Homo-oligomer: A and B are copies of this chain.
Amino acid sequence: MVMVINNLHNKGCSPATSTNYSFKDNDNQIWVTRSGIDKSIIRVDDFITISSEGKSIGEYKDLRPSAESIIHCVLYEMFPETKFILHSHGIFPVLISSRVYPEFRIQGYELQKGFPHHQTHQTESIIPVFCNNQDMEYFKKELMERKRQLNNNCFIIEKHGIYAWGNTLLDAKKHLETLEYLCQCEFLNSK
């Protein structure tokens, strides 16, 4: 997972100390990156255990988890099969987010097949775009209300970035790369 994060950083998807990542272990314990880590030097040790309310627990209880941990917790609760969640600040989702709010609709690209359940590029994909709200309760509520739109295993936060998840690390990475690529296509095409 650290390798995937390093690669995302090298592609400019986690500038400054932004973004966060999590996984669920075999005992269903959630591990999330702690706050403020530069993603070029992140290590396995920078993952800490959190409760289902997003608070650090156990031997890590004095460390601060990512401020957005609650989003991870809600996703794991809504989609029990999910094992990995990735969050990227790649520039194209950020650039296109304001223009397409409250949803990013896309059709006709082969790469849409990178989303789950897409058998053909002719299907329209709809990815929800949420406000960049500081209040984590907002996300909890919005995610649950728009659950049906989360069937592509990803969403966009306006002028912020994207979340993508999967039952395996490679699945989560696939959904993230698919969304980043499609945002780039649509942004460059619309210029």
Contacts and interface: CB of A to CB of B under 8 A. Distances in A.
Interface of A: 7, 12, 15-18, 38, 40, 89, 91, 94-95, 108-111, 113-114, 120-121, 132, 134, 157, 159-161, 170, 173-175, 177-178, 180-181, 184-185, 187-189, 191
A158 to B, nearest CB: 8
Contact of A159 (B16, B40, B108, B160): B108
B173 A38 contact: yes
A38 B174 contact: yes
A162 to B, nearest CB: 11
A111 B89 contact: yes
* 10 closest Cβ pairs, A-B complex: A16-B114, A110-B160, A15-B177, A16-B174, A15-B181, A16-B178, A16-B177, A109-B159, A38-B170, A108-B159
A180 B15 contact: yes
Contact of A111 (B15, B111, B177): B15
Contacts of A184: 91
Contacts of A178: 15-16
A188 B188 CA distance: 10
Contacts of A181: 12, 15-16, 89, 91
Contact of A189 (B95, B134, B160): B95
29 contacts: A7-B40, A15-B111, A15-B114, A15-B178, A15-B180, A16-B113, A16-B174, A16-B175, A16-B177, A16-B178, A16-B181, A17-B174, A18-B111, A18-B113, A18-B114, A38-B170, A38-B173, A89-B110, A91-B181, A91-B185, A94-B110, A94-B185, A95-B188, A108-B132, A110-B160, A110-B161, A120-B134, A121-B159, A121-B160
